[in-house]
Amino acid sequence: MTDNTLSEALKEAYASAPSEVVLLHTLELRHPAFVDDDGNPTAIRIVRDNKNYTCKLEDTAPLNPGEEVEFQALAFDLELPPVEAIPVPEITLSIDNVSTEIIKYLDRAVETQDMIEMTYRPYLTNDLSTPQMDPPITLVITEVTADISKISATARMMDIGNKSFPAENYTVKKYPGLSR
């Protein structure tokens, strides 16, 4: 089954594998507790390469839409979901040699009930002006394990099949007419 979210340039790079064009796998991790020193929302942005890259985000990005942002070089491995109909697609991820900066953000996230969102964006080294997947894959990290050398995580798409409908709780405080 073909993936209609991939750009023509990325499909061409997959098909012909030119040596001068490298596929860059990038991840962006977001959480309400991820804030910079000034208290502004920020994200952990990493690229699977040996050097940092400045790439432009899509106009619909949750943070810094349409802006150029820096992705930090970091060794990680990810297994993308298959392009087929499965109930809840998931990605497995492992990040090696995690810096204390990333651990600081993850420690903040553990203290809350909010989930960490993860966005996967592929870029090509000859075109860093836009992700080569539209829209990029956004998932929620559901399981995390960490040890001294790496972090492993599983991220899934929202499981809308198990979400209540309507997704609103009718409480007496919100709807006083329910009280007798």
Query: Each residue of 73-126: pLDDT tens digit?
Result: 998 998 876 666 666 677 888 988 887 778 888 888 888 888 899 999 999 998
Two tokens at 62? Answer: 């949750």
Residue 171 inside a domain? The answer is no
Using 50, 70 and 90 to split pLDDT, how confident is the model at 167? Answer: low
Burial of 96 (0-12, 13-18, 19+ CB in 10 A): exposed
Q: Is residue 161 part of a domain?
A: no
What mean pLDDT is predicted for residues 162-166? 56
**Residue 178 domain-assigned (yes or no):** no
Distance CA(41)–CA(64), nearest Å, equals 10
The sign one gets for the Cα dihedral 67, 50, 29, 111 is: negative
The closest alpha carbon to 62, from 32, 20, 17, 25, belongs to 32
Q: Are 60 and 151 in contact (CB under 8 A)?
A: no
pLDDT band at 150 (very low <50, low <70, confident <90, very high): confident
- Please count the residues of the chain: 180
User: Token pair for residue 169?
Assistant: 């709780």
- Per-residue pLDDT for 52 more than 50? yes
- Asked whether residue 41 is assigned to any structural domain, the reply reads yes
175, part of any domain? no
Identity of the amino acid at 43: A
Query: How many domains does the chain contain in total?
Result: 1
| Structure tokens belonging to residue 41 | 């929302």
Q: Give the residue numbers spanning the domain of 107.
A: 8-155
Query: Could you tell me if residue 143 is inside a domain?
Result: yes
User: In whole angstroms, how far apart are CA 17 and each of 13, 77, 123?
Assistant: 5, 20, 14
133 assigned to some structural domain: yes
Q: Does any domain span residue 141?
A: yes
pLDDT in tens, 120-137: 999 999 889 999 888 888
DSSP string, 67-84: -EEEEEE--EEEEPPPSS
